[in-house]
Amino acid sequence: MDISLVVPAYNESGNIRQFLHAAQEVLGSTGMSYEIVVVNDGSTDDTLAQLMLLIGGHPELRVIDLSRNFGKEAALTAGMDAATGRAVIPMDADLQHPPKLIPLLIERWQQGFDVVLCRRASRDTDHWLQRWVSRLFYRVHNAVAELDIPPDVGDFRLLDRRVVEALRLLPERRRFMKGIFAWVGFRTTVVEFEADARYSGTSHFSGWRLWNFALEGITSFSTVPLRIWTYVGGVVSLAAIGYATKVVISTIVSGTDLPGYPSLFCAILFLGGVQLIGIGVLGEYIGRIYSEVKQRPIYLVRSRHGFSVDA
């Protein structure tokens, strides 16, 4: 097998048929052998039924039905675990990742690159707030994380088999794919593309979900938020010592006066807030440790279809 497409699909009933059609047309024209691994991530619409209808006439189609909605990152992992191609291309099912780019990815791969990233040339289809927040995220992430993730690069990319095998060595349950992809490294090149609008339906990622995704990213690949509290504590303690010295000296020099009650109140509130934030950050990491030590599987498969050797 030369090429495996890995397609997570969650309630994509309005897109999946068109996507498969477009992908097959492009892949067929490359003259390479290929498979399309669609991972049904617990869809509540008729995505799975549509796939089951299509699978009879399409020997290159494979379907993995997960037992519930595990989220896009887990679905991608499931698909990549099952993919057998010498190169693997994760793609969204909503046609935002144009299949016509695939031949270019293959060309770069054949030139010897292990990873071919697809960077969005512009984000014109996004709301200005979305663009601003995403820029902020990349800036913060790359400032605090041990590894930079390239901005405007999504999960759409080509991965050589060795990269896929390397990815499988990372056992974490909480999978921030952008970070994991960056962590493994390998010879990388970038191509630009114009993301299309969603073919049908709306995005599954709300503002709140994206916020949590951003937290996930930063805490998965950085311990700076944990360590920063040592320095915050140090600065606050130094300021307190300085202030205490001033109080002692002014008491010796000019006797006691009644210290202000408002300033005391502000200091207590401020320090209480700082401590709570520090504890919250600790909690964030402890929560992460908790979900890692439980060693639960990343996803559960309900059924597989279209695989020659059913595991």
Cβ closest to ligand UDP, residue 134 vs residue 142: 134
The stretch near ligand UDP (CB under 6 A) out of 28-36, 66-74, 262-270, 277-285 is 66-74
Q: How many residues bind ligand UDP (CB under 6 A)?
A: 16
Q: What is the DSSP letter of 227?
A: H
User: Among the candidate windows 6-14, 54-62, 144-152, 286-294, which touches ligand UDP by CB under 6 A?
Assistant: 6-14
Q: Minimal distance in Å, beta carbon 125 to Mg ion?
A: 10
Q: Residue 71 Cβ, how far from ligand UDP at the closest point, in Å? A: 5
Residue 9 CB, nearest approach to Mg ion (Å)? 11
Residue 59 main-chain phi, psi, to 5 deg: -65, -15
- The alpha carbon dihedral of 64, 66, 69, 70 has a sign of negative
96 is a site residue for Mg ion (CB under 5 A): yes
- Partner whose footprint covers residue 179, from ligand UDP, Mg ion, none (CB < 5 to 8 Å by kind): none
Q: Count other Cβ atoms within 10 Å, centred on residue 146.
A: 11
Contacts of 268 (CB under 8 A, 6+ apart): none
Question: Which of 12, 35, 73, 94 touches Mg ion (CB under 5 A)?
Answer: 94
Please name the residues in contact with 36: beta carbons below 8 A apart, sequence gap of 6 or more. 4, 5, 7, 20, 23, 24, 27, 58, 60, 61, 62
Query: What is the Cα–Cα distance from 164 to 161, expressed in whole angstroms?
Result: 5
Q: Any contact of residue 94 with ligand UDP (CB under 6 A)?
A: yes
Interaction of residue 92 with ligand UDP, rule CB under 6 A: yes
Residue 96 is a binding residue for ligand UDP (CB under 6 A) = yes
Q: What is the dihedral of CA 293, 298, 300, 304, to 10 degrees?
A: -150
Interface with ligand UDP, residue 99, by CB under 6 A: no
Asked if 10 interacts with ligand UDP (CB under 6 A), we say yes
Residue placing its CB nearer to Mg ion in the complex, 72 or 175: 72
149's contact among Mg ion, ligand UDP, none, with CB below 5 to 8 A by partner kind, is: none
Q: Does 9 bind ligand UDP (CB under 6 A)?
A: yes
The reply to whether 182 sits near ligand UDP by the rule CB under 6 A is no
Quick one: what does residue 71 bind among ligand UDP, Mg ion, none, with the CB cut-off 5 to 8 Å set by partner type? ligand UDP
DSSP state, residue 70: -
Q: Which is nearer to ligand UDP, 35 or 155 (CB)?
A: 155
Question: DSSP letter string over 118-155?
Answer: EEES--TTS-HHHHHHHHHHHHHHHHHSSS---TTEEE
In the complex, what is the shortest distance from the CB of residue 199 to Mg ion, in angstroms, rounded to a whole number? Answer: 9
Q: Are 39 and 79 in contact (CB under 8 A)?
A: yes
Q: How many helices (H) and strands (E) does the chain have?
A: 10, 8
Q: 189: which strand partners?
A: 116
Please give the residues from 31 up to 50 whose contact with ligand UDP meets the rule CB under 6 A.
41
Q: What is the DSSP pairing of strand 115-120 with strand 153-160?
A: antiparallel
Q: Which residues bind Mg ion (CB under 5 A)?
A: 92, 94, 96
Q: Which residues contact ligand UDP by CB under 6 A? A: 8-10, 12, 41, 69, 71-72, 75, 92-94, 96, 203-205
